[in-house]
A and B are shown apart, each in its own frame.
Chain A
Amino acid sequence: MPLLLENVRKSYPTPEGGTSDVIRIKRLEIPDRAQWVITGRSGCGKTTFLNLISGIITPDEGNVQVFGADVSRMKEAERDRYRARHIGIVFQTFNLLPAFTALENVLLAQLFAGAVDRARAESLLDRVGLKDRMSYRPTQMSVGQQQRVAIARSLANNPSLLLADEPTGNLDPTTGQTIIDLLKQVCGEGGQTLLLVTHQPQVVAAFKDVTDLSNLQN
């Protein structure tokens, strides 16, 4: 199973001095090549959920397996390496590095995975419709174009799993729809398993497989 969470719990300290469970999932399985949406109200823990899967944070209890690898048990450097090579992430705020061009932002993702492939990077940018914007910096592009670069970057190392955290949160509805369609297309073509979190109804409506995070919590 590409993605498996078992008895995962993650809590954070509260201002009052106690702790509060943000994630408490007994079991979640996502099949290979699925395009799955996790929905929920703002602040319910969607980003934390994705961070657990990507290995950016580790659970207090339980295990998170991504394509058979237990990222929750890996040492930090291992998790970083695994994330670089096998997991692509698209953020709500794009998170492009402003000092680098579109092409360089994609190449950076490859650099941290250990293998720079300029031809692939150019091909990806071409695929997302930015062939003529490769030498542009993020500040020279529209928000829609920036998110396209982010999508190309997330696919830089041909990951098995692509995580998208509110990818249309900062976009107008029309641009947002274009981005969702692009995500679905490129993941379908590349065979990536797509896990997207959102609270926007119009995005939820574009997918068949939808789960509310609150329904996963126990």
Chain B
Amino acid sequence: MTLWTIVRRSLAERKLSSVLTTLSIALGVAVTIAILILQRQGRENFSQTTFGYELVVGAKGSALQLVLNTVFHMDRSPGTIPYPLYKELKSSRDVRLAVPMAVGDAYRNHRIVGTSSAFLTDFEVADGRRFALAEGRVFEHSEEVLDRIMAGEHVHPKLEAVIGSAVARRTDLRIGSQFAPEHGIVETVEPQHHDEKWTVVGVLAPTGTPNDRAIFISLESFFSIAMHQEKKAQISAVVIATRTPLAVRKLEQMINARTDAQAAVPAMVVGDLFDTFAQVETLLLAVSTLVVLVASVSILVSIYNSMSERRRAIAIMRALGARRATILAIIELEAVTLCVLGGLVGAAGGHLLAAASGSYIGRVSGVSVSPFAFHPIELAVLGGLVVLGGLVGILPALKAYRADIADGLTPTA
């Protein structure tokens, strides 16, 4: 028998009220935790996705659209740039690595990216890691063949594809599978298939980036097919790794001064995007905090109102020798327990909510979210709830503290 026994029994005696107030706290905490997890992970993972290259060069227009299309394989391409620009950039002494890209096709909602093998072999995909193959090999690529095709020559390169891990998981494509890309990226009832078929020669290991849900083919195979031949000498983008950090700004300025292309620094574009979201996140956090505060007021009201019913029980405990401070501590513990219980349930709920949301985010953007990763802010939230519980418990605790023994023992009916 301890004070904690008294607290537990007291809360159990008011089961409905205790459950409802706990759940209302849990609701606010769950939304708060979910927002914080997604905010932090989204910012980290979206930023990590841009490791490996510092610049994206594409058609004039929205830098955000360019980055979303090139880096995250989302949205439409803002346009095309001339193939010779890629050759020009590649030969620049400020450029360590330049890789061309062309988009426009898909297979069962998975974007097909025409590029060079260097994209899969020479770039870091995230945090010092390079692409790794779970099975097979990278498609064959020849810069010389690509140049000939771009010059108008009819060449028939091998039609080989490397698929991301999510593509392998969600479709029936395996090593040796053949598929016909669908022209365009908008899902339609009757997609228009190309006549040509590609063969899967490699499956990438999971990277936790949007590249997991893309299909990579050689740029020369992309332009060798009939429907794309009118696009010759126009590509969607060039991704660039610079020799020095200073070269990023220099190249950016030089390209943006052109009339036929723009350069975007993905890290900055993504950062700006999240800064815009930050206001929405702040608003959502404010709303969820308000939910918690309103729920805590309901705890105050519930416990305060119970003081009248418990007047006699409190007087009995005092008559048995419980000090006023002991009674105050019991009431305070009740309030803190409800808040902390709500916090724990809410934290679990928040992770589940993040998992559900993260699943959708992963499907749409290819960016993975670890919904069950511990966020240090959760400790702060729990600590805050302990303080909040103490605060809301003050009024009812003081009422119990001031209760008179003799009055409380006197039967009222």
Contact = CB atoms under 8 A, between A and B. Distances in A.
Interface of A: 47, 51, 54, 56-57, 76-77, 80-81, 83-85, 89, 91, 93, 95-100, 104, 107-113, 116, 118, 153
A47 B315 CA distance: 15
Main secondary structure of the interface of A (DSSP, over half): helix
Contacts of B5: 104
A54 B318 CA distance: 12
8 contacts: A85-B321, A89-B320, A97-B313, A104-B1, A107-B1, A108-B320, A109-B321, A110-B1
Given A85-B321, A98-B313, A108-B317, 17 more contacts: A47-B406, A56-B318, A56-B405, A77-B325, A80-B321, A81-B323, A83-B320, A83-B321, A84-B321, A84-B322, A89-B319, A91-B409, A95-B316, A95-B319, A104-B5, A108-B1, A108-B6
Contacts of B326: 112
A113 B321 CA distance: 7
B402 to A, nearest CB: 12
Contacts of A112: 317, 320-323, 326
B2 interface: yes
B76 interface: no
Interface in B272-326: 312-313, 316-326
Given A99-B9, A104-B1, A108-B317, A77 B409 contact: no
A76 B321 contact: no
Contacts, number: 72
Main secondary structure of the interface of B (DSSP, over half): helix
Contacts of A84: 320-322
Contacts of A107: 1
Nearest to A78: B323
A63 to B, nearest CB: 19
B393 to A, nearest CB: 19
B324 A111 contact: no
A76 B324 contact: yes
A77 B323 contact: yes
B411 interface: yes
Contacts of A47: 406
Contact of B9 (A76, A100, A111): A100
Closest 7 CB pairs of A and B: A84-B321, A107-B1, A112-B321, A112-B322, A80-B323, A95-B316, A56-B405
